[in-house]
Structures are given as structure tokens and as C-alpha cells.
């Protein structure tokens, strides 16, 4: 099976995830991380999951300022994404990437209207940037524009279609002239696209992409099937030593974050955040806090067994060394030292645990036992239970405790088997004796 997967399945997967667009998308989205975390802190302060604290913040007037900071950071995530993706694409090709990022920003703004109509008075207000499109709603457009500009800018430079200045000219001046011809062509093309959508469809490109591409994608992701796919892919790739969290997060992260932002917009509109009102279940928090919490595969159960119940010296030592990192969601020691990578015995619980957790979490959110998540995110090193409380209140913290406990029992028979085999090797016992030892272990 391993041979078939390594020769037939893994090569095309790796070829896909290492393509230039996917690499640029993955690297470019990393530039949004500081702003999503900082913005989440202000959003959390404005909507703290303790009623007394939340009421005090609102009554004191601080919520307005916290929301202002959120609106200037997390809520313009698509702007950071479009710049970061174009920059990463060009930089990976060996050229200066900042001019491409600036061109991408110009074109992204060209995909939306620069005026809005006041709903009450009907007055048209011009020269504005519609922040309704700078967050989750504009994310797919930002990705497409960033990739297009990265490819187009690189195309010009590879063919040396640019204005060249003498070597004595400072680099910053030379780079600005280098970008002149690509910028003129790409921005002109973007303007023609804007005219086409305005004249033919009476809309903008960004709105058309949202309605035709992004909304269906969010709908597919925001389903039980989408949750199961996320739960399977991350540990599946990790099983072969490929960083599944980075790959899946880089590709699916924009859609999941768009779902989170859409939930926040429902709350800000004054509606209750429910599935009936269009709330999304599968969000970035769903993946981070209920499918990869304590690391890919939710391996805290393995660590707990090693610390408290292991018989082999190897597992006892590994458990002690891995406990602190596991609390902060770092589980590479467990993945590579147990090992879980390329270990058929551990592959089953490693994949099954996040899948089971995803099913439980999906129905807990769907039925309203746990409130849907807003755009509040916490640093990935935030310990479990605390992270659950911060993103969803006490209900989410309780659910996180429950799924982690379920994970422990899913891992239990498999890690006991490995532990017994290790103990047998350490004490020169036969595998039959190791099996008897495993059966005699009672928790």
C-alpha cells in the first residue's frame, strides 16, 4: 500500500501543491497572519464571550474603538492578500516583488466601484473604497488578481520588456522604471475588464466573482462533506511527512476566513448568528480549534498516554519531552518520534481522530449547542480549552474538552500496541509476550 501511494498518489499531489500559483498563494497568505491575529484581538475585546464584560465594553463606549481597529486590520484582509500573493509570486521567480504587489493593489481596487449610494437619501458618494469587498467577500478576487499580476509581471521581466536605466541609478529608482511598462499594460487591461463588466453585466468583476465563484465555493466548504475533507487531508499528507497543515491551510484558509468574516457581518447587521440566518459552520476556527488543535491529528491523547500510562522507557521519555510543546499545539516530536509518519498502525487513529471530531463539532454547531464562530482568531500556540473559550465561549471550551477526550480513546488501542512492542524490545521479550503485556494493561 505504501509503495502504491508513494508511486501513484503522492507524486501528483506534491506536483500540484508545489506549482507556482499554489506556492504563491500559500506564501502570500502568510503576510495576512499578523493582521488577522491583531484584528482578532480587537474583535474579541469588542465581543468578549462573557456577558458582563461584553456589556461593560459596550456601555463604556470602548466597543466603537475596538471595532475601528478591527475594521482597519482584519476587515481589509483581502488587500493584504492581493499584495502578498503578487509579491510572493514575483519574488519566487527571482525578481523584486514589491512593484508587483503595488500593481496588484491598484488592479484589485479597479475591480470594484469607487462610489456608493446612501440607502436612505439616495445620494451618491464618490471617491470611496468599499470595505464591503476588502474583507472576506473579496478574498477570491484578491487571490485571482494577485496570481494574475504575479504571472503577468513576471512574463514581462522574463522577456526583458522593461525600461532599463544605467547601473549607476539607485535600485529603488531603477525598480520604479522597471515596473512602468508592466504596470501600464496590466492596469489598462484591468480597466478594460472593468468596462466590460459594467457595460455588459451592469456589475463589477469583484461582485461577479463573488456571486459566481466564491459563494458556491463557500457553500461546498461549509458542509459536512467539506469538514470531512479537511479532517482527512491534513493528517493524510502528514502521514507521508508532508506538512499537511500548511498546504491545506494555505489553499483552503482564504475560504474558511471568508466564512468567519461573513459570520461577523451577520452579527454586525443586528441579526442573530444562526444557520437559518446564513451563518457558516465550517470556518477557520473549526479547522484550527477542533481538527488540528494540539497539532495535526489532535495527538494530545498520545502524549497523555505516554506521560501517565506508558510502560516502555522510550514512550515515557518521549511523553515528558513532548508534553509542554503539545500544550502549545506543537506536535512534531510526536509525529516523527512515535513515529506516526509512515507508521500504518498509527495512521488509522491519526486520520480518524480529526474526522470524528469534525463530525461531532459540525452537528454541535448545526444544532445550536455551540454558537457559530465569528472572525475571532487566536494565535496558533494558544493552549486548548483556553483557545476554545476565546473563540466561542464556555460552550466551545466544553466541546473542545469533549473531542480531545474522544481522541484519547481513539488513539488508546493503537498506542498501547506500539508501547507494548517497544517494551518487548527493551526487555528482550517476544512479540507474543508483548501482546500478552498489552492485554494485561488496564487503565
Task: Specify whether 297 is located in the same domain as 172.
Answer: no
The answer to whether residue 14 sits within a structural domain is no
At 442 the pLDDT is 43
HSE at residue 326, side-chain half, CA atoms within 13 A, is 21
Task: Specify whether 216 is located in the same domain as 305.
Answer: no
Q: How many domains does the chain have?
A: 2
d(CA 274, CA 365): 9
Task: Specify whether 213 is located in the same domain as 322.
Answer: no
pLDDT digits (tens, 9 = 90+) for 68-94: 998 888 888 899 999 999 999 999 999
At 176 the pLDDT is 76
- Where residue 342 falls (left for φ over 0; alpha for ψ -120 to 50; beta otherwise) is left
At 172 the pLDDT is 72
Task: Specify whether 293 is located in the same domain as 386.
Answer: yes
Choosing from 172, 200, 222, the residue where a domain stops is 222
The answer to whether residue 107 sits within a structural domain is yes
The answer to whether residue 56 sits within a structural domain is yes
Q: Which structural domain range is residue 389 located in?
A: 287-440
The answer to whether residue 15 sits within a structural domain is no
The answer to whether residue 320 sits within a structural domain is yes
* Sequence-separated (6 or more) residues with CB below 8 Å from residue 93: 20, 154, 157, 158
Choosing from 167, 201, 222, the residue where a domain stops is 222
The answer to whether residue 350 sits within a structural domain is yes
The answer to whether residue 429 sits within a structural domain is yes
Task: Specify whether 214 is located in the same domain as 349.
Answer: no
Task: Specify whether 169 is located in the same domain as 306.
Answer: no
Stretches where the chain sits below pLDDT 70 are 1-6, 8-10, 13, 119, 429-443
Task: Specify whether 162 is located in the same domain as 78.
Answer: yes
Number of neighbours of residue 261 by Cβ within 10 angstroms = 24
Task: Specify whether 197 is located in the same domain as 55.
Answer: yes
Task: Specify whether 174 is located in the same domain as 75.
Answer: yes
Task: Specify whether 102 is located in the same domain as 29.
Answer: yes
Q: Tell me the whole-structure pTM to 2 decimals.
A: 0.76
Choosing from 206, 222, 238, the residue where a domain stops is 222
Query: Nearest to residue 146, comparing CAs of 28, 297, 11, 235?
Result: 28
Task: Specify whether 195 is located in the same domain as 344.
Answer: no
Task: Specify whether 210 is located in the same domain as 296.
Answer: no
At 443 the pLDDT is 41
pLDDT digits (tens, 9 = 90+) for 298-320: 999 999 999 999 988 888 998 89
The answer to whether residue 267 sits within a structural domain is no
Amino acid at each position: 500500500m505504501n509503495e502504491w501511494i508513494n508511486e501513484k498518489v503522492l507524486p501528483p499531489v506534491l506536483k500540484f501543491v508545489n506549482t507556482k500559483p499554489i506556492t504563491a498563494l500559500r506564501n502570500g497568505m502568510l503576510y495576512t497572519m499578523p493582521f488577522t491575529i491583531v484584528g482578532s484581538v480587537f474583535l474579541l475585546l469588542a465581543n468578549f464571550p462573557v456577558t458582563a464584560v461584553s456589556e461593560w465594553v459596550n456601555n463604556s463606549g470602548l466597543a466603537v474603538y475596538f471595532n475601528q481597529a478591527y475594521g482597519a486590520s482584519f476587515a481589509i484582509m483581502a488587500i493584504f492578500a492581493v499584495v502578498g500573493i503578487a509579491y510572493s509570486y514575483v519574488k519566487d521567480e527571482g525578481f523584486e516583488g514589491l512593484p508587483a504587489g503595488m500593481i496588484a493593489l491598484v488592479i484589485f481596487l479597479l475591480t470594484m466601484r469607487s462610489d456608493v449610494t446612501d440607502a436612505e437619501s439616495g445620494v451618491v458618494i464618490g471617491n470611496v473604497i468599499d470595505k464591503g469587498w476588502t474583507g472576506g467577500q473579496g478574498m477570491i478576487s484578491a487571490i485571482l488578481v494577485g496570481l494574475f499580476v504575479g504571472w503577468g509581471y513576471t512574463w514581462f521581466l522574463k522577456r526583458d520588456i522593461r525600461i532599463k536605466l544605467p547601473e549607476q541609478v539607485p535600485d529603488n529608482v531603477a525598480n520604479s522604471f522597471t515596473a512602468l511598462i508592466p504596470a501600464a499594460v496590466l492596469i489598462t487591461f484591468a480597466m478594460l475588464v472593468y468596462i466590460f463588466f459594467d457595460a455588459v453585466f451592469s456589475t463589477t468583476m469583484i461582485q461577479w466573482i463573488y456571486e459566481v465563484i466564491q459563494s458556491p465555493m463557500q457553500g461546498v466548504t461549509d458542509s459536512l462533506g467539506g469538514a470531512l475533507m479537511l479532517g482527512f487531508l491534513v493528517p493524510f499528507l502528514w502521514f507521508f511527512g508532508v506538512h499537511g497543515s500548511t498546504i491545506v491551510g494555505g489553499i483552503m484558509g482564504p475560504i474558511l476566513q471568508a466564512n468567519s468574516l461573513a459570520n461577523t457581518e451577520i452579527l454586525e447587521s443586528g441579526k442573530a448568528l444562526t444557520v437559518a440566518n446564513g451563518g457558516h459552520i465550517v470556518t477557520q476556527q473549526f479547522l484550527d480549534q477542533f481538527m488540528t488543535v494540539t497539532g495535526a491529528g489532535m495527538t494530545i491523547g498520545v502524549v497523555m498516554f505516554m506521560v501517565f500510562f506508558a510502560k516502555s522507557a522510550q514512550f515515557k521519555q518521549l511523553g515528558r519531552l513532548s508534553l509542554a510543546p503539545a500544550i502549545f499545539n506543537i506536535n512534531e516530536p510526536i509525529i516523527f518520534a512515535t513515529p506516526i509518519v509512515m507508521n500504518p498502525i498509527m495512521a488509522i487513529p491519526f486520520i480518524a481522530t480529526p474526522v470524528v471530531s469534525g463530525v461531532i463539532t459540525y452537528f454541535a454547531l448545526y444544532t445550536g449547542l455551540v454558537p457559530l464562530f465569528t472572525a475571532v482568531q487566536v494565535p496558533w500556540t494558544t493552549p486548548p480549552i483556553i483557545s476554545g473559550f476565546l473563540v466561542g465561549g464556555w460552550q466551545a471550551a466544553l466541546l473542545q474538552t469533549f473531542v480531545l477526550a474522544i481522541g484519547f480513546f481513539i488513539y488508546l488501542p493503537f498506542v498501547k500496541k506500539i508501547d507494548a512492542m517497544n517494551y518487548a524490545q527493551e526487555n528482550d521479550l517476544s512479540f507474543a509476550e508483548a501482546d500478552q503485556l498489552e492485554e494485561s494493561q488496564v487503565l
